[in-house]
Amino acid sequence: MGAPAPGVIFPPRDLPSCALDPGSPTCMSEASKVEAAYGAEQIQVLEGLEPVRKRPGMYIGSTGPRGLHHLVYEVVDNSVDEALAGHCDSIVVVLNADGSCSVTDNGRGIPTDVHPRTGKSALETVLTVLHAGGKFGAGGYKVSGGLHGVGVSVVNALSEWVEVTVHRQQQVHTQRFERGQPIGILASVPAPAGDEERTGTSVRFKPDIEIFSVGIEFDYQTLSSRLRELAYLNGGVRIVFRDERPAALTADGEAHEEIYHYVGGIKEYVAYMNAEKDPLHPDIIYVNSEKEGVQVEAALQWCVDAYSDSILGFANNIRTVDGGTHIEGLKTVLTRTLNAFAKKRGKRKEADSNLAGENIREGLTAVLSVKVPEPEFEGQTKTKLGNTEVRGIVDTLVGEALGEFLEFNPSVIDLILEKAIQAFNAAEAARRARELVRRKSVLESSTLPGKLADCSSRDPSESEIYIVEGDSAGGSAKQGRDRRFQAILPLRGKILNIEKTDDAKIYKNTEIQALITALGLGIKGEDFDAKNLRYHRIVIMTDADVDGAHIRTLLLTFFYRYQKALVEGGYIYIACPPLYKVERGKNHSYCYNESDLRTTLDGFGEKANYTIQRFKGLGEMMPKQLWETTMDPSTRTMKRVEIEDALEADRIFTILMGDKVAPRREFIETHSAELDLAQLDI
């Protein structure tokens, strides 16, 4: 149906000759002109916080919602660092009615004396100088969190205004800043009666609308998830989160407030994650120890009704979504220790092969938190711990505590080993099933499923695959697609719910096998390698009805449980086909939701003549319509599936797709008020 519009997904193809041949005379002459005009006056020198306002994405990742909420995290991280140092146990975060956010702690308070190098107060220095703070060197903090180390100065630079209040040494110090610049000097007055011994810092800031063009409204759920996580990771710290914005007030004018306070720390975290599951053993295995300045805290519990593991790793309170040396150390010690116990307790003979790591970890929920004085992060997103010494430290400390616990709890180790051996046997059955599929594929002289209509491109970075339901939708999609870069895989009916299915059944399922083979996913439990992926955009395109929504949920469950890295890497998309086609005379328009339809009809004015076509299935759409509305990169809308909160995602999948009916019913009843049931299409 034609190539995609230039610049939408692929680079433009009508490039100027010098871009295609940099050595051409035309290009050389242009370069000479540029070089002649390039002198000292073209060199920009950005001072103070100007670089932050000039290139905010370099400091907070983006100027979208993620970057906006990062401002809050930077301020909260400072308070958490005070808690890590033992000087703070209370943090209050408030979303104010004027759109600003306040973070108040009872730590030591930012120093206010004159800094010897800047000649300004330490408070003004911290707020106006990049990389100024107590986290560099060994003087201020032994361990600190925060991902980029950019600190509150970046918050100051990207805010319309900031007001800081410090209670310290029986004084109250205040200073205001606007778009990074101090307004006046630090003002200090004696603390009021009864408040003389109070210490701490309060930072109130309003993000700058000039920077965050998408808006500066904070999302309550996004912030609450992170604050709850921080409370779990720092047991004993009390975090109060209050929303005083008008929309959040009760009928009595009361603000919405939640308190996160978990004395049990990450043990309570694991208990929360497993609340909707059946634990294999009631007592959570807990490790809290320190070696060579590295603090290791771990909590582990296996569950009966889970066929995959859920391991959350943190380094200095940073969620390490890409793993790292601490996770490697944990996996290594689990495999070695449980295999040793399997031989010791006669569950495996000396001649038997060892249980694989994925067998041992099946059904495991674990939280591992390490605090490292000098953390080294790898990868583009800086969410993979690289300190090599941490691997051995985690191995040693977890190994000692785990071995001691299992020695005194023989019934627990027996239950864990029995589940691991069942997983091993299921994996063997799955392997045999895979071999049968592979041999069958070889006999048929094709390793790809016959129903796959592949694209001609062999470059995964520009290729995309649409997973559609049924032959009817598949037919329209095949005819409407751009064969050069778009592949189509039709599925028959609803795929297997792998949330409550063992591996052997997964690999015997025809539709699941087609997905695995077509996408190049490899084996469940193996480390994800993007080089084996055949398409970098995997698009779920289902009908806009209840069955379509169910199939979409089953597919999301498959991707999340079978190969979570696909979702974390941003490879999964959801297509957004229109619900209606509105025709008036020779003109027509497509509406993607009820709001679009109302707006379109309102634009016609009263008793106007028009017809409305409701698309209940993709197969009802002509191939040209499907291309124009849903598949053409220049006009389509697609939603990329992302994980903002790994804990909540894991919990919701368990509730909605697991065996237990009661939690699912409770979830539906609780959230039904949020739905417009009058528009429910059954």
Amino acid 133: pLDDT: 58
Q: What is the mean pLDDT of residues 117-133?
A: 83
Amino acid 665: pLDDT: 85
Question: Could you tell me where in the chain the CATH 3.40.50.670 domains are found?
Answer: 448-577+640-679
- Do β-strands 90-95 and 101-105 pair in parallel, antiparallel, or remain unpaired? antiparallel
* Coarse DSSP helix, strand, coil percentages of the chain, rounded to the nearest 5 percent: 40, 20, 40
Name the range with the highest mean pLDDT among 252-256, 561-565, 619-623.
Answer: 252-256
Identified catalytic residue from 82, 276, 469, 511: 469
Amino acid 442: pLDDT: 40
Per-residue confidence band for 28, with pLDDT thresholds at 50, 70 and 90: very low
Query: Does the structure show a pLDDT above 80 at 318?
Result: yes
Per-residue confidence band for 632, with pLDDT thresholds at 50, 70 and 90: very high
Q: What is the mean pLDDT of residues 127-147?
A: 62
CA–CA dist 422, 355 (Å, integer): 10
Tell which wins on pLDDT, 146 or 431.
431
Nearest residue to 166 (alpha-carbon basis) of 128, 204, 116, 213: 204
CA distances from 399 to 177, 214, 316, 550 (A): 51, 49, 21, 43
Name the range with the highest mean pLDDT among 145-149, 239-243, 424-428.
Answer: 239-243
Per-residue confidence band for 12, with pLDDT thresholds at 50, 70 and 90: very low
Per-residue confidence band for 660, with pLDDT thresholds at 50, 70 and 90: confident
Amino acid 136: pLDDT: 43
Per-residue confidence band for 134, with pLDDT thresholds at 50, 70 and 90: low
Amino acid 22: pLDDT: 38
* Strand, helix or coil for residue 589: strand
Per-residue confidence band for 427, with pLDDT thresholds at 50, 70 and 90: confident
Beta carbons within 8 Å of 503's beta carbon, 6+ residues apart? 307, 423, 426, 427, 429, 430, 524
Amino acid 380: pLDDT: 53
Strand partners, 487: 465
Query: Does the structure show a pLDDT above 70 at 438?
Result: no
CA–CA dist 572, 348 (Å, integer): 40
CA–CA dist 504, 243 (Å, integer): 48
Is residue 547 annotated as part of the catalytic site, yes or no?
yes
Amino acid 157: pLDDT: 94
Per-residue confidence band for 197, with pLDDT thresholds at 50, 70 and 90: very high
Is residue 309 annotated as part of the catalytic site, yes or no?
no
Question: Could you tell me where in the chain the CATH 3.30.565.10 domains are found?
Answer: 52-260
CA angle 383, 389, 395 (to 5 degrees): 95
Amino acid 616: pLDDT: 77
CA–CA dist 337, 537 (Å, integer): 40
Query: Does the structure show a pLDDT above 70 at 573?
Result: yes
Tell which wins on pLDDT, 428 or 517.
517
pLDDT, tens only, 279-294: 999 999 999 999 999 9
Nearest residue to 323 (alpha-carbon basis) of 401, 378, 375, 252: 378
Identified catalytic residue from 160, 328, 376, 545: 545
Q: What is the mean pLDDT of residues 574-596?
A: 88
Lowest mean pLDDT among 16-20, 223-227, 295-299, 321-325: 16-20
CATH for 266-428 (3.30.230.10, 3.10.20.30, 3.40.190.10, 3.30.420.40): 3.30.230.10
Q: How far apart are the first and last CA of the chain?
A: 33
Per-residue confidence band for 642, with pLDDT thresholds at 50, 70 and 90: confident
Amino acid 258: pLDDT: 96
Per-residue confidence band for 9, with pLDDT thresholds at 50, 70 and 90: very low
Query: Does the structure show a pLDDT above 60 at 15?
Result: no
Whether 288 and 367 have beta carbons less than 8 Å apart is answered as no
Per-residue confidence band for 436, with pLDDT thresholds at 50, 70 and 90: low
Question: Could you tell me where in the chain the CATH 3.30.230.10 domains are found?
Answer: 266-428
CATH architecture of 448-577+640-679: 3-Layer(aba) Sandwich (3.40)
What is the full DSSP assignment across 56-80?
THHHHS-SSHHHHHHHHHHHHHHHH
Name the range with the highest mean pLDDT among 28-37, 103-112, 135-144.
Answer: 103-112
Nearest residue to 354 (alpha-carbon basis) of 340, 372, 333, 373: 340
Tell which wins on pLDDT, 182 or 439.
182
Amino acid 467: pLDDT: 95
Per-residue confidence band for 646, with pLDDT thresholds at 50, 70 and 90: confident
Amino acid 3: pLDDT: 39
Assign residue 24 a region (left: φ > 0; alpha: ψ between -120 and 50; beta: otherwise): beta
Question: What percent of the chain has a predicted confidence (pLDDT) above 90?
Answer: 52
Beta carbons within 8 Å of 488's beta carbon, 6+ residues apart? 452, 453, 465, 466, 468, 474, 477, 478, 481
Nearest residue to 104 (alpha-carbon basis) of 242, 254, 266: 242
Tell which wins on pLDDT, 149 or 16.
149
- Do β-strands 486-491 and 464-469 pair in parallel, antiparallel, or remain unpaired? parallel
Q: pTM of the predicted model, to two decimals?
A: 0.72
> Is domain 52-260 annotated with CATH 3.90.470.20?
no
pLDDT, the chain, mean:
84
Identified catalytic residue from 163, 376, 547, 644: 547
Identified catalytic residue from 543, 628, 632, 650: 543
Nearest residue to 477 (alpha-carbon basis) of 636, 621, 574: 621
Query: Does the structure show a pLDDT above 60 at 138?
Result: no
Amino acid 546: pLDDT: 79
Query: Does the structure show a pLDDT above 50 at 31?
Result: no
Question: What percent of the chain has a predicted confidence (pLDDT) above 70?
Answer: 85
Tell which wins on pLDDT, 276 or 207.
207
Amino acid 547: pLDDT: 85
CA–CA dist 149, 450 (Å, integer): 52
Amino acid 379: pLDDT: 62
Q: Which two tokens stand for residue 131?
A: 């990389």
Query: Does the structure show a pLDDT above 60 at 199?
Result: yes
Q: What is the mean pLDDT of residues 545-568?
A: 89
Per-residue confidence band for 337, with pLDDT thresholds at 50, 70 and 90: very high
Sign of CA dihedral 503, 504, 508, 513: positive
CA–CA dist 534, 214 (Å, integer): 34
Lowest mean pLDDT among 34-38, 511-515, 574-578, 652-656: 34-38
- Taking only Cα atoms into account, the Rg of the chain, rounded to an integer number of angstroms, comes to 29
Query: Does the structure show a pLDDT above 90 at 207?
Result: yes
Amino acid 29: pLDDT: 47
Amino acid 190: pLDDT: 94
CA–CA dist 501, 504 (Å, integer): 8
Query: Does the structure show a pLDDT above 70 at 382?
Result: no
Amino acid 103: pLDDT: 98
Q: What is the mean pLDDT of residues 188-208?
A: 94
Tell which wins on pLDDT, 116 or 137.
116
Nearest residue to 487 (alpha-carbon basis) of 495, 473, 477, 496: 477
Crossing angle of the two packed helices 266-273 and 220-233, in degrees rounded to 10: 130
Per-residue confidence band for 413, with pLDDT thresholds at 50, 70 and 90: very high
Amino acid 175: pLDDT: 96
Per-residue confidence band for 142, with pLDDT thresholds at 50, 70 and 90: low
